[in-house]
Amino acid sequence: MILSGKRSRNAWVLLVLTVLLSSCVSKRNSYFLRDFQEAVNASLVQKADKDYMIQTNDNLYVSVKTINPEVNAMFAQSEGTAGSGTLYSSQVGQHIYGYQVDSRGEITLPIIGPVQVAGRTLKQAKEQIQVRADEYVKDSDIQVRLLNFKVSVLGEVRAPGVYYNYNNTLTLLEAIGMANGTTDYAKIKDVLVVRQGKDAVKPYHLDLTKKNIMASEAFYLQPDDVIFVRPQKLKNVKLNASYYTIGISSLTTIMLIINFFWG
């Protein structure tokens, strides 16, 4: 006695569907900036208009270089060494040797003295320090960086964690890249960016498959932003699919045996 054709087809169709469900991740959900074209409207890119404004308690790296070695020696803390690396090679070193913005919005530099930087962009702070430096030294070269620019990348990324940025600007896509990209279960159509505002926490929901994310206030990140890449709803089903497949395979085998002997 053999298994009837109808029952056999039903069993195998069920098995095939289960395997397909367990192995397929929608390709439509795996492409970033899917509608991106070569010619992007300039209005979408707001980098120049969204520069970070320095705030109280920020920690700044400030370098002042001149042609006078004696003057340079007074700013030499940024060029010194601690162990095998520079003084800024660790977060502790950055905290100790950086210039923290005080409650008045100022940093105090050797020779130059206090400089108001809060409420200014890094470029504006550099220009302000340059003006003050020109009062005391000649031909100075000023560099300003934000040392406390960190973001947290969580959820469906391959290396969740806290990441520091020293390039003054950081995009959402760059932050995800720091975390080694998204997993196969990432829901890139709904990525959450949480930002602490002056009065409240503000959430942003971004669809990474659309080029209009470049127009979002959250595309260019700010210090202490939290990025959460949500999982797809079928993640648990897909993770447990192997168990389902084994179960259905076992059930099919039992059905074959029963039908062979008693069908």
Q: Return the CATH number at 210.
A: 3.10.560.10
Which of 34-43, 72-81, 90-99, 105-114: highest mean pLDDT? Answer: 105-114
129-174 residue pLDDT tens: 999 999 988 889 999 999 999 999 999 999 999 999 988 889 999 9
Give 154's strand partners. 228
Instruction: Choose among 44, 63, 29: nearest CA to 209.
Output: 29
Residues 73, 138 within the same domain: yes
Residues 100, 166 within the same domain: no
DSSP letters of 115-170? EE-TTSBHHHHHHHHHHHHTTTSSS-EEEEEES--EEEEEESBSS-EEEE--SS--
Separation of alpha carbons 215 and 222, rounded Å = 15
The answer to the question of residue 73 being in a domain is yes
Instruction: Give the pLDDT score at 149.
Output: 93
The total of structural domains in the chain comes to 2
Residues 97, 109 within the same domain: yes
The answer to the question of residue 127 being in a domain is yes
Residues 187, 61 within the same domain: no
The answer to the question of residue 23 being in a domain is no
Residues 116, 227 within the same domain: no
The answer to the question of residue 6 being in a domain is no
The answer to the question of residue 94 being in a domain is yes
The answer to the question of residue 22 being in a domain is no
Average pLDDT estimate for 63-86: 67
Give 108's strand partners. 114
The answer to the question of residue 256 being in a domain is no
Residues 186, 227 within the same domain: yes
Separation of alpha carbons 137 and 256, rounded Å = 92
Residues 84, 104 within the same domain: yes
Separation of alpha carbons 14 and 36, rounded Å = 39
Q: How confident is the model at residue 102 (pLDDT cuts 50, 70, 90)?
A: very high
Find the CATH number of the domain harbouring 106.
3.30.1950.10
Instruction: Give the pLDDT score at 81.
Output: 43
Q: How confident is the model at residue 85 (pLDDT cuts 50, 70, 90)?
A: very low
Average pLDDT estimate for 48-71: 84
209-261 residue pLDDT tens: 998 898 999 999 999 999 999 999 876 555 555 555 666 666 666 666 666 56
Residues 66, 121 within the same domain: yes
Enter the pTM of the model.
0.71
Residue 10 has pLDDT above 90, yes or no: no
Q: How confident is the model at residue 12 (pLDDT cuts 50, 70, 90)?
A: low
Q: Which domain holds residue 188?
A: 42-50+150-232
Which of 91, 115, 146 marks a domain boundary? 146
Residues 60, 140 within the same domain: yes
Instruction: Give the pLDDT score at 236.
Output: 57
Residues 213, 105 within the same domain: no
Token pair 């950055």 is at which residue? 94
The answer to the question of residue 176 being in a domain is yes
Which of 95, 123, 146 marks a domain boundary? 146
Residues 159, 100 within the same domain: no
Instruction: Choose among 146, 137, 147, 145: nearest CA to 65.
Output: 137
